[in-house]
Structure 1
Amino acid sequence: MTTKTELSPTARESKNAQDMQVDEVLIPRKVPSLCSARYGIALVLHLCNFTTIAQNVIMNITMVAMVNSTSPQSQFNGSSEGLPVDSFGDLSKAPKSLSAKAPVYDWSPQIQGIIFGAVGYGGILTMAPSGYLAGRVGTKRVVGISLFATSFLTLCIPLAADFGIVFLIITRIVQGLSQCSVIGGQFAIWEKWGPPHERSRLCSIALSGMLLGCFSAILIGGFISETLGWPFVFYIFGGVGCVCCLLWFIVIYDDPISYPWISTSEKEYIISSLKQQVRSSQQPLPIKAVLRSLPIWSICLGCFSHQCSSYITATALLTLSCALSTLCQSGIYINVLDIAPRHSSFLMGASRGFSSMAPVIVPTVSGFLLSQDPEFGWRNVFFLLFAINLSGLIFYLIFGEADVQDWAKERKLTHL
């Protein structure tokens, strides 16, 4: 029989005093973050996110060099070797800095939109399962294998494009499966590595690699395409990913107990911090409560609206937009750790998986709008993105929360 016991005022005061003494004993001595293992883990994740997002973005940069025509009358899939000619057919006036061995293709705006969006199809399918799988089998395996897969496929993109548009789209879809597994699977590591009051900071350090990767790809991608040819952009970033994958398997461990290079004081600090969390691995995920939770939907819609604008930004506002995007990384993307720490790995993957629909929808819709009106189509694209971002912001401001939800709390009963 399950009942709730009532304590007398004297007994309650005695119990509170004992709890205060226990809390004072359990509070661990904080270990400095400089040169600590947990912040080293965050920096390695920063590098992994840098590589993954850079591999995702470089197609947006190289597309300019990969096509020799953006008119709607272009062929579905055609390629020509050598330098692109100008509008009058004079080869001598073509940019001489481009590599003569880099092929160019006749892809219409619709086809380019499909190529851009193909990488997002995988995110819808794998983001949430990768977070759940990482919580079960370990982040090291899920993220490490996925990072190697996306790096290898990045190296294969020039060959896939040479084989044809179908091979390229398939490669991009599989690459999206791998990239979203890296992003969705990494959050589970903080359940064992991140002290509760440091998780937001550690996640922010790791996620900031995405912004740096996007910035770096935009900064040097065009330069590499112009000097060496666009295939070398994929070769360089794919090679960096392979090196990063090797570093990942050497440095990363799923928990501090098995980590060979951690100090005893830091290990005790992390373990004792996590012991203060009341959690039960046998409590199932309350699916119905999650689907009815407006804070969860506010996170999903906020991530979706943010993803709608990481890739199509006016040049004049690009720097400002990227700077403001860091506020989303330290707020909305890790909000799940605040409202449902018990189920954070799955729900983070689910929210990011929901937002992965944006990289699929936006390039496709943008390509359609541009094909209908090549001169003023961008105006409609920006108006649409503004409406989506504003709607996501308003919904998040109304329904977003930072307190642990009732359905995510431990149910404690007294058995007599």
Structure 2
Amino acid sequence: MEDEQPPRKVPGFCSVRYGLSFLLHFCNVVIMAQNMSVSLTMVVMVNRTEPHSVTNLSANQLPAHVKNPVYDWSPDIQGIILSCTFYGSIFFQVPVGYFSGIYSIKKMVGCAMLLSSLFNLFIPLAADLGKTAIILCRVLQGIVQNTVATGQHEIWVRWAPPLERGRLTSISTSGFVLGPFVVLLVTGLICQSLGWPMVFYIFGICGCVLCLLCFFLVYDDPKDHPCISISEKEYITSSTIQQFSSRRQPLPIKTMLKSLPLWAISVGNFAYYCTNKTMLLYVPMFINSMFHVNIREILLPQNGWLSALPYLFAWIFGILAGQMSDFFQSRNILSLLTIRKLFTSLGLLLPALFSVCLLYLSSSFLSTIIFLILITATLSLNTVGTLLNVLDIAPRYYGFLRGVTTLTGLMGGLMASTLTGIIINQDPDSPWFKVFMLLSAINVGSSIFYLVFAAAEVQDWARDREQTRL
């Protein structure tokens, strides 16, 4: 009968759900800008830096009228300051994911965004107060930034219709790669013209503005949104009604640990973060060692596009992946499981292929840059692969499991970056062959594991307990 048919699909870009996705996109851009600000301004904050610092200005390059306090921090202290946001976030990954399934996402993300922005505004003063103050500020900032990054995913359980999961989540999460693009382009210019404290003030103010928008425009449930149309509300609720339940149930930890599809997602995340973190931390050192190029000159404000370009292409590829995955699913061209396996395989195997090409086919500076861009760009295809797959198999526990699988990935990133540093120290003459072949092997092995054990249907342990007894 006609009245039993689901409501017609509401057009995309003029809808509240897409507005929510774009708002989260800009929140993620600012969160990443705040996260990277210290590493990109460190070279003008101190009177000595490590050779692989990723900015490009020194104090004597700045105009005389620009106020730039300089601190006598040792390289060890600099390393602690740069890494403490990571340790501040890694220990709270799982708790944030768990509580995102219990408490209001609007309040969690909005308050965390506000605190991160206030900490960002406080960093110049904390630096004046001493290294202990800025370390504490950065640790707390890492915790709240992790709350924004991890807690927001739970909102798509109620807001993302199954046929639009790819594009909605890819739009919001692509902010995490557009953020580095923006901050790499503008940080050097801000430091040079206004002074490094203005970097923290500008991104802190942007975060405060977005926080206010979150409190006014974000709602946990489309049923509560005052501006949503009746047709869009009915379309979303009818599409997502099977994804969640109001009844709280204990986490089936033992069953989760035995779930091979969940392990497949974790292994895929492990490989993704291994390549991602290694590329983020060591690409400048790789270029310097291969071509003896002065990285400080490459990363000058007028040349900032060179270091930012991989993130721009990663942003483009991530959004296109979301559009393509939903197109394949809505037109019944491919099954959901095939879509997840396709984009995971492309997101892991293509970076592995381009890593090998980088070792054997790159004969010039230009070809090396092209392959480095392709590695970073194709890696973002995982956005609609392993990074979204948890919502398919366990929407009831999406927040918690997203935190668990992301933690697995972060541990992989930490291990890969540490191992890369060890390889470089032990074999300073030719370490990059070992590094890129190791990353390629991890990607290939993880892709095979995912292809064998992945699933895209809701697992029995993630269903309503009463329903599973029937």
- Aligned-pair CA distance for 1:408: 1.9
2:91 aligns to what? 125
1:355 aligns to what? 409
CA–CA distance in structure 2, aligned partners of residues 291 and 407 of structure 1? 11
8 A contact 1:117–1:364 mirrored in 2: no
Amino acid at match of 2:26: L
Asked if 1:289 is matched to 2:255, the reply is: yes
8 A contact 2:13–2:19 mirrored in 1: no
Q: Return the structure number with greater relative CO, CA threshold 8 A, min gap 6.
A: 1
2:47 aligns to what? 68
DSSP 3-state at the match of 2:12: coil
Listed one character per residue, the Cα deviations across residues 221-270 of structure 1 (whole Å, up to 9, x for unaligned) are 12212222222111111111111101111111111111111111111111
1:404 aligns to what? 458
1:147 aligns to what? 113
1:218 aligns to what? 184
CA–CA distance in structure 2, aligned partners of residues 389 and 230 of structure 1? 38
- Aligned-pair CA distance for 1:154: 1.2
Q: 2:133 aligns with which of 167, 181, 191?
A: 167
Q: 1:312 aligns with which of 281, 284, 298?
A: 281
Q: 1:31 aligns with which of 10, 13, 17?
A: 10
Q: 2:214 aligns with which of 231, 248, 253?
A: 248
Asked if 1:325 is matched to 2:375, the reply is: no
Against the structure 1 CA distance between its residues 239 and 278, is the aligned structure 2 distance closer, same or farther, given a 3 Å change threshold? Answer: closer
1:104 aligns to what? 70
Amino acid at match of 1:405: Q
8 A contact 1:99–1:226 mirrored in 2: no
Against the structure 1 CA distance between its residues 278 and 47, is the aligned structure 2 distance closer, same or farther, given a 3 Å change threshold? Answer: closer
RMSD of Structure 2 on Structure 1 (CA): 3.2
CA–CA distance in structure 2, aligned partners of residues 71 and 192 of structure 1? 46
Greater percentage in helix? 2
| TM-score of the superposed pair, with normalisation by structure 2 | 0.71
Q: 2:28 aligns with which of 27, 49, 56?
A: 49
Against the structure 1 CA distance between its residues 248 and 197, is the aligned structure 2 distance closer, same or farther, given a 3 Å change threshold? Answer: same
8 A contact 1:338–1:404 mirrored in 2: yes
Please list every run of 5 or more consecutive structure 2 residues that lacks an aligned counterpart in the other structure: 52-57, 285-368
Asked if 1:335 is matched to 2:389, the reply is: yes
Amino acid at match of 1:312: L
- Aligned-pair CA distance for 1:30: 1.2
8 A contact 1:58–1:217 mirrored in 2: yes
Please list every run of 5 or more consecutive structure 1 residues that lacks an aligned counterpart in the other structure: 1-20, 73-82, 85-93
- Aligned-pair CA distance for 1:312: 1.8
CA–CA distance in structure 2, aligned partners of residues 107 and 68 of structure 1? 8
Listed one character per residue, the Cα deviations across residues 177-203 of structure 1 (whole Å, up to 9, x for unaligned) are 001100111111112212222223211
- Identity, % of aligned pairs? 47
8 A contact 2:393–2:455 mirrored in 1: yes
How many pairs were matched up? 376
Listed one character per residue, the Cα deviations across residues 370-411 of structure 1 (whole Å, up to 9, x for unaligned) are 778888787876666556555544543443332332322345
Tell me which structure has the larger Cα radius of gyration. Answer: 1
Q: 1:228 aligns with which of 181, 187, 194?
A: 194
1:157 aligns to what? 123
